[in-house]
Amino acid sequence: MTAPRVPEPFDAAGNASRPGPVTHVWYAAYGSNTHPERLDCYLAGGRPPGGRRDVPGCRDPRRPRRSAPVLLRGRLYFATESAVWTGGRAFYDPEADGELPAHAYLLTVSQFSDIAAQEMYREPDRDLDLTRVLARGRDRLGPGRYETLVCAGLLDGHPVLTFTAPWRSTEVPPNPPAAAYLRHIAAGIGAAHGWPPRRTAAYLATCPGVHPRWSAPKIAALLTADPAGSAPAAPPARSRLAE
C-alpha cells in the first residue's frame, strides 16, 4: 500500500500564489467517493453502490489518470440531515485541527466540475471557474451543502481540490451518520489507505458528530460484520443514495 501524501502549499512548491495553467486537478474525495467503485459511476454514469437513482456521469467518462492516498489538514465531521440516509452527512472543515484521510484522483477540470455538479443533483454541462479557489484557497459557489470549493495545496504540480459546506464544524449542530453510510466511508478509507477496520473505527469515532451514538468498539463491530472487508454490496434498486 502506498504511503499517504500531504499536499504542499503553493509557496512550498515554488509558486508565488497559484499554479500555472490548470488542465488537471486532484479531486480529494473524503466521503463515500473514496471508494473507486462509487467514483466510477460518477465518471461513466449508472447507479452507484448504495444508490436508488442513476447518475448521468461526466462528459468525459475516462477513469482517473492516477490515484493516491492523501492526508488533508482539517477534520471530517457529520452534520445536517440526509433525506436518504436519515443521518448526518460527511463534511470537511479545513480550518479545524487534525488530519483527514482522503483518496485523491487525478482528473481533468471538466471531470471534477461534473462530479461536483452531480453531488448537487445538477446536470453536468460546464466547467467550473477555478480562478478564485486557486488564488484564495476557497471559493463559495452557492449556498448548497457541497458548493464551497477548497484547495488543499499541490501534488506533483496539480491543485488538490475538494468541495464542502460553507460553514465550520462548530457552526452547525452535529448529527451522527447512519450505519450504512459509515460502512461506505470506512470501505473507501480501506481501499485508499489500507487501514484495518479497527484503525478506521478509532479514527471515525473521533470525528465530530459521531459521538455519542457511535463509539470505536461499536464502529469496529459494524465494520467487521462484513467479512470481506470491502465496500458494501449494491443493494436493491430502491435502496438509498449515499448523499
Please report whether residue 208 resides in a domain.
yes
Domain of 172, CATH number, reads 3.10.490.10
pLDDT, residue 237, reads: 33
User: What average pLDDT does the segment 105-134 reach?
Assistant: 95
Total domains, the chain: 1
- Helix, strand, or coil (residue 58): coil
pTM over 0.95: no
Query: Mean pLDDT in the chain?
Result: 87
Please report whether residue 239 resides in a domain.
no
pLDDT tens digit sequence for 30-49:
988 998 988 999 999 998 76
Please report whether residue 217 resides in a domain.
yes
Please report whether residue 229 resides in a domain.
no
Please report whether residue 19 resides in a domain.
yes
Please report whether residue 131 resides in a domain.
yes
Nearest Cα residue to 82 out of 39, 28, 32, 41 = 32
pLDDT tens digit sequence for 121-161:
899 999 999 999 999 999 999 988 899 999 999 999 999 99
Query: Other C-beta atoms within 10 Å of 77: how many?
Result: 26
Q: Which domain holds residue 25?
A: 11-224
- Cα distance between the two ends of the chain: 28
Q: Which helix (H) or strand (E) holds 223?
A: helix 216-224
Please report whether residue 220 resides in a domain.
yes
Residue whose C-alpha cell is 459509515: 182
Helix pair 36-44, 179-193: axis angle to 10 deg: 100
Please report whether residue 238 resides in a domain.
no
